[in-house]
């Protein structure tokens, strides 16, 4: 609209075609996380499948899809049982293109739960990548889809790697992890990003508080 106004003022156009354009705020799509029951079903469904490690990395470490695809065995630190997130990938015409993290905050060290570390140690290392394609190379976008599809067919709800990352975010918040540490673990450059994306977590806190405060007046009388 500003460009058209400039053109009219400078005699380049007779009228402004955007003069009566109305603008609307597009609502941000609510991020979904899995319930405790769905997590249990998912872990049972993926057991023994190629996708099992990828699902655990997203669910218990909060890794992004591109970070899982880029993850190499050399990124694991035996002495501290941690994962060093150094790279990610983006898909261009289905092919993975390695890049740095979305920001400097994306480079981070993630603690690995004991059960997942044991799974990683028992995983056959047939590739430099922790979660390679069926051919042992870095996964393409289609390969990621084929990795998840067998799991999807075993559960009665929709699931994506990003939903698992969101579930991780919800879980660490419920555990009482500080907002700044949540920001670090999720690899967000700004704390506002963490808060804005996971606003429904605050809604859950309010709902829980409401239930806890129902008897506040009865308690105050005693």
The 10s digit of each residue's pLDDT in 105-131 is 778 889 999 999 999 999 989 899 999
The Cα–Cα gap between 54 and 134 comes to 13
Q: How would you label 50-62 residue by residue, b for 16+ Cβ within 10 Å and e otherwise?
A: bbbbbbbbbbbbb
The Cα–Cα gap between 7 and 10 comes to 5
CA-wise closest residue to 68 among 78, 76, 80, 58? 58
Phi and psi angles of residue 201, each rounded to the nearest 5 degrees, phi first: -60, -40
C-beta separation of 68 from 54 below 8 A: yes
Per-residue pLDDT band at 54 (split at 50, 70, 90): very high
The Cα–Cα gap between 171 and 169 comes to 5
pLDDT of residue 214 exceeding 70: no
Per-residue 3-state assignment (H helix, E strand, C coil) for 131-145: CCCCCCCCCCHHHHH
The Cα–Cα gap between 103 and 110 comes to 16
Structure confidence at residue 215 (pLDDT): 54
CA-wise closest residue to 59 among 186, 182, 164? 164
C-beta separation of 91 from 97 below 8 A: yes
Q: What is the DSSP letter of 192?
A: H
Structure confidence at residue 181 (pLDDT): 83
Q: Mean per-residue pLDDT for 46-60?
A: 96
Q: Mean per-residue pLDDT for 44-56?
A: 96
- Taking the CA atoms of the chain, what radius of gyration do you get in angstroms? 23
pTM of the model: 0.73
CA-wise closest residue to 68 among 189, 161, 159? 161
Q: Give, in order, the Cα–Cα distances in Å from 154 to each of 38, 41, 65.
A: 12, 9, 21
């Amino acid at each position: 609209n500003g460009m058209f106004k400039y053109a009219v003022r400078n005699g380049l156009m007779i009228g402004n075609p955007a003069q009566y354009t109305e603008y609307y705020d597009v609502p941000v799509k609510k991020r979904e996380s899995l319930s405790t029951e769905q997590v249990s079903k998912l872990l049972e469904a993926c057991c023994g499948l190629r996708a099992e490690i990828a699902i655990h990395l997203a669910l218990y470490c909060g890794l992004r899809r591109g970070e899982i695809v880029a993850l190499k065995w050399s990124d694991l630190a035996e002495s501290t049982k941690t994962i060093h997130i150094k790279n990610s990938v983006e898909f261009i015409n289905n092919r993975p293109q390695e890049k740095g993290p979305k920001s400097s905050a994306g480079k981070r060290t993630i603690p690995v739960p004991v059960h997942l570390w044991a799974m990683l140690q028992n995983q056959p290392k047939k590739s430099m990548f922790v979660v390679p394609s069926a051919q042992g190379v870095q996964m393409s976008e289609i390969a990621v889809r084929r990795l998840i599809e067998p799991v999807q067919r075993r559960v009665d709800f929709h699931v994506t790697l990003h939903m698992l990352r969101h579930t991780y975010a919800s879980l660490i918040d419920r555990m009482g992890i500080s907002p700044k540490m949540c920001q670090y673990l999720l690899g967000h450059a700004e704390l506002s990003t963490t808060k804005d994306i996971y606003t429904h977590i605050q809604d859950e806190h309010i709902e829980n508080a409401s239930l806890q405060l129902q008897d506040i007046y009865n308690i105050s009388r005693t």
